[in-house]
Chain A
């Protein structure tokens, strides 16, 4: 089973509008972290935002916010006031814990990504 599912292969948004990129995850670990990365055509993965499984508040970083719905196992990325430079691939990723033993796994598990295109 997919651990990270991004159901939108591609999305279009008008410049200055808001857009939501979907991400659902699957884990039985009570401790985990969720990340969003942006990958422009140049290839570098740029960290955008992080949400911990025990965080009470939804994470925000500038124009990025994470709509974390734990019961639904979803962690959608919201980009407000889209800019032309936001056109890129966006990846949702999860870092699992180690169950009751504390610590975390070292690896990130990525979804297949969503290609966002911002139209002028």
Chain B
């Protein structure tokens, strides 16, 4: 049973550039959430996608956008990169049952460095 996968593993970009991170959910899951984890901190929620729509959003600027595909995989896009966007980006998948987000299972993360 394949778990959550993310690509790429590492990424180095320069300020002002744009980046796309990818996530494939655990088999059978229909919901994908994205988190940003700065060094030494707990993860911060960016947004959650269900049925190809953004279901909930955290306190992140519009430079952060996403997409979910019919096969439930998801992308996170960040435009106009800032030095402060350097972080570990974690994708989590889960099932949405009766409006309740079940346990979220995380992927290995993408470490983004902005120079």
Contact = CB atoms under 8 A, between A and B. Distances in A.
A44 B106 contact: yes
Interface residues of B, number: 29
Contacts, number: 68
Contacts of B55: 106
Interface in B21-62: 31, 33, 35, 40-45, 48, 50, 55-56, 58
Contacts of B42: 4, 91, 93, 110-113
A106 B109 contact: no
Interface residues of A, number: 26
Contacts of B41: 112-113
Interface stretch (A13-21, A80-88, A97-105): A97-105
A37 to B, nearest CB: 7
Given A110-B42, A112-B42, A104 B99 contact: yes
Interface of A: 4, 35, 37, 42-47, 50, 91, 93, 95, 98, 102-113
Q: When A and B form their complex, which 10 residue pairs have the shortest distance between CB atoms, in order from nearest?
A: A103-B99, A110-B42, A107-B45, A45-B106, A106-B48, A106-B56, A104-B100, A43-B109, A44-B108, A106-B101
8 contacts: A4-B42, A37-B106, A44-B109, A95-B101, A108-B104, A110-B42, A112-B40, A112-B42
